[in-house]
Amino acid sequence: MSLRDNLSSIVASVDGAMAAMIMAYDGIPIDEVVQPDADMDLQLLSVEYTTILKEIKRAVEVLKAGEMEEVSISTTRTRIVVRVLNSDLFAALIMKHDGNYGKGRYLLRLKGSTMAEELS
Amino acid sequence: MSLRDNLSSIVASVDGAMAAMIMAYDGIPIDEVVQPDADMDLQLLSVEYTTILKEIKRAVEVLKAGEMEEVSISTTRTRIVVRVLNSDLFAALIMKHDGNYGKGRYLLRLKGSTMAEELS
């Protein structure tokens, strides 16, 4: 299954999913799948969340808390789950606030390792 | 139930919980309960995570993604769940990596609103 197929399958399987993407820490998307009716600025979102992830990565190193694995950010409108794939890349799933957060987390973890292998 | 009792009850009820605290966005802890065997620098952790939360809050505002509600950060060693209580305060639960994340999230949400009322 290609990278794009994996991302599509996550978006299709998770209720409320709006987009799934693979990103590099420099803010450049490697690949992405967006629901046609998703109302969001994906580029701005990528830039903002990449900045946050770099800040978290730095803090985790300062705290000697091991390696960063997953970050979730919920707001009154959206839920975002980010899964670290390797030292360069991460996968992100953006859901509506009432999306299936548990299934989203699970699928991102499951398919994250497959996608990381494909990219290594 | 006092603030301290609420925090103690969360730490006692969640397997793998190491500490629970109420913090202000200026990095000052309002109250905290730490397991005696918890091996961590809580002060450094508070400072680092407060910086991250402020960065996330800023990004959420830029993205017009509603109000920040909850942030989870998992590393290979720890899991941290942060719940926003109001515009000044948040509650945080720090668990071991294999701690009961679902129960931790649930209790923090449940008791978060009680604690917010007590502080308002």
Q: What is the pLDDT of residues A46-94, one digit of tens each?
A: 888 889 999 999 999 988 889 999 999 999 999 999 999 998 899 999 9
Helix (H) or strand (E) holding B104: helix B101-119
Q: What is the pTM of this model?
A: 0.91
Q: Where are the domains of chain A?
A: 3-119
Q: How far is A38 from chain B (nearest CA, A)?
A: 13
Q: CATH number for the B3-119 domain, one of 3.60.10.10, 3.30.450.30, 3.30.360.10, 3.40.50.12370?
A: 3.30.450.30
Average pLDDT, chain B: 91
Mean pLDDT on B19-42: 87
Is A49 in Cβ contact with B52 (below 8 Å)?
no
Average pLDDT over residues A31-50: 86
- B51 three-state secondary structure: helix
Predicted ipTM beyond 0.95: no
Higher-pLDDT residue of A22, B118:
A22
Nearest to A65 among B56, B65, B75 (CB): B75
Looking at every residue in chain A, the average pLDDT score rounds to 91
B51/A59 Cβ within 8 A: yes
CA distance B64 to B66: 6
Map tokens 């999913």 to a residue. A17
Q: How many CB pairs under 8 A join A and B?
A: 82
